[in-house]
């Protein structure tokens, strides 16, 4: 699977909010951003849940992104 990367520079307060939300949801910040993006895509009708389900099943065969412990709270790579 090819994953694109986007660098998102965050202000300190944005990084703090992201870290707090991610910790509350028990996710690394990178995965929290992916989760939020997917949820907003669903809300706007841009994402079909069946496509996400297929990608999640494929990801379970490899490294689980939910266990990614990479943490860079000032600049998040997605």
Give pLDDT, residue 3: 73
Give pLDDT, residue 73: 44
Q: Per the domain annotation, does 33 fall within a domain?
A: yes
The mean pLDDT value for 57-67 works out to: 51
Q: Per the domain annotation, does 24 fall within a domain?
A: yes
Burial environment of residue 22 by CB neighbours within 10 A (0 to 12, 13 to 18, 19 or more) = buried
Q: pLDDT (tens digit, 9 = 90+) per residue, 17-59?
A: 999 999 999 999 999 999 999 999 999 999 887 766 656 665 5
* C-beta contacts of 36-43 below 8 A and 24+ residues apart: 37/78
Q: Per the domain annotation, does 4 fall within a domain?
A: no
Give pLDDT, residue 32: 96
* Count of the separate structural domains present in the chain: 1
34 contacts: CB under 8 Å, gap ≥ 6: 65, 78
Q: Per the domain annotation, does 6 fall within a domain?
A: no
Quote the pTM value: 0.59
- Domain, as residue range, for 33: 12-48+70-78
Residue 33 CA to residue 15 CA, distance in Å, equals 11
């Amino acid at each position: 699977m090819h994953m694109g990367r986007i660098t998102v520079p965050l202000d300190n307060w944005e990084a703090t909010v992201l870290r707090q939300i991610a910790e509350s949801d028990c996710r690394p910040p990178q995965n929290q951003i992916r989760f939020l993006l997917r949820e907003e895509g669903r809300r706007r009708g841009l994402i079909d849940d069946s496509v996400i389900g297929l990608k999640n099943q494929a990801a379970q065969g490899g490294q689980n992104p939910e266990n990614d412990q990479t943490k860079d709270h000032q600049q998040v790579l997605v």
